[in-house]
Amino acid sequence: MSDKRMPLARSSLAGDTQGEGGMRDLTASCEVWILAANRMMARALEVERWVETFAAHGVTLAPRLVSELRLLAGKDGLSLCDAAGDPIAPPRLCICRVYEPHAPRHLELLGTHCQASSRMVGLCYDKAEVTQLVAGSGVPMIASEVVPAFASEHLAQGRFATPAVLKPASGRGGSHVALAHDNGELAYHLDRLIGRPGVVQPVVDEGRDLRVYVVGGEPRYAMERLGRPGDFRSNYSTGGTARPHPLDIELADLSRRVLAALPEQLPFGSVDFCLDQGRPVFCEVNANLGCRIPYEFGGYDLIGDYAEWLREECL
């Protein structure tokens, strides 16, 4: 086992004072949590398989649900309780299988080291911000424009070349991603986002993309995702399939450039590329992704790889 380990110090977000307006300096327990939003998301994100796989690598994970925690803030600082109101010691380390940053941030302020951090959880959910950070890094990317919420009247005036894709500025799993054949359709789909901004992009190769899996901040392997027939999206969650793809020098280099443009390390996740006439162009980064594709279609043990890296470098 490596002797050089990542320090699990208090987050830089946390204060060192106690009292009114300050953070409580709590001692974290020795537990390692795996955190999901609720029971439905725990099943969808295979928390049970994570627990079993990590156990096979000598790491015990304690499953926790945000829905069964109380994240309390008051004049004396922050506290963490179970649903009955009994205090809970925050864990030393938390693997965050969540899409919202609030629970990870609360844990960080109480002294927990979160992977991914609350900053990265929020960032990877915000597709527009990731696009802004990666722009100018030399990585080929889809030309994108952020459209403010409630701006559908401007889209109806022929502002964009069509067909085009509209996606929520913040989102996951292909939800509310729409293909529009004219600006009127773009305006209609923006209204359906109900007060959220959108991102408009030109159409590239439909129904195909490349997902590069990241472990310990490094590209590990790649899969090509293929949408179901007739669907311009390539998400597995919308009925697609996948096959292994070589992680060649070009694809690995592009992925590292994207990761270098982010404000923090991505310990576990993916860099996704669309294909434009067969060439990879950056699409988005994910900090919380499903692991069925590499396991079922490529024979890759993504969870086991991460467990081994975490055991060697962080525990």
Q: Which residues contact residue 309 at a Cβ distance below 8 angstroms, ignoring those fewer than 6 apart? A: 215, 216, 267
Give me 83's structure tokens. Answer: 């649903």
Can you give the pLDDT at residue 189?
Answer: 86
Q: In CATH, what class is 123-139+205-313? A: alpha beta
Of all helices (H) and strands (E), which one includes residue 74? strand 69-74
Q: Quick one: average pLDDT of 99-120?
A: 96
Share of the chain above pLDDT 70, in %: 87
Can you give the pLDDT at residue 25?
Answer: 42
Q: Which CATH fold topology does 145-202 show?
A: Dna Ligase; domain 1 (3.30.1490)
Task: Give the separation between CA 78 and CA 109, rounded to whole angstroms.
Answer: 8
For domain 29-115, say whether CATH 3.40.50.20 is its number: yes
Q: Which residue has the higher pLDDT, 237 or 5?
A: 237
Report the 10 Å Cβ neighbour count for 303. 22
Residue 134 pLDDT more than 90?
yes
Instruction: Dump pLDDT digits (tens) for 161-210.
Output: 889 998 888 766 567 788 899 888 888 888 888 778 888 999 888 888 99
| Mean pLDDT over each residue of the chain, to the nearest integer | 86
Can you give the pLDDT at residue 13?
Answer: 35
The residue extents of the domains of the chain are 29-115, 123-139+205-313, 145-202
pTM: 0.85
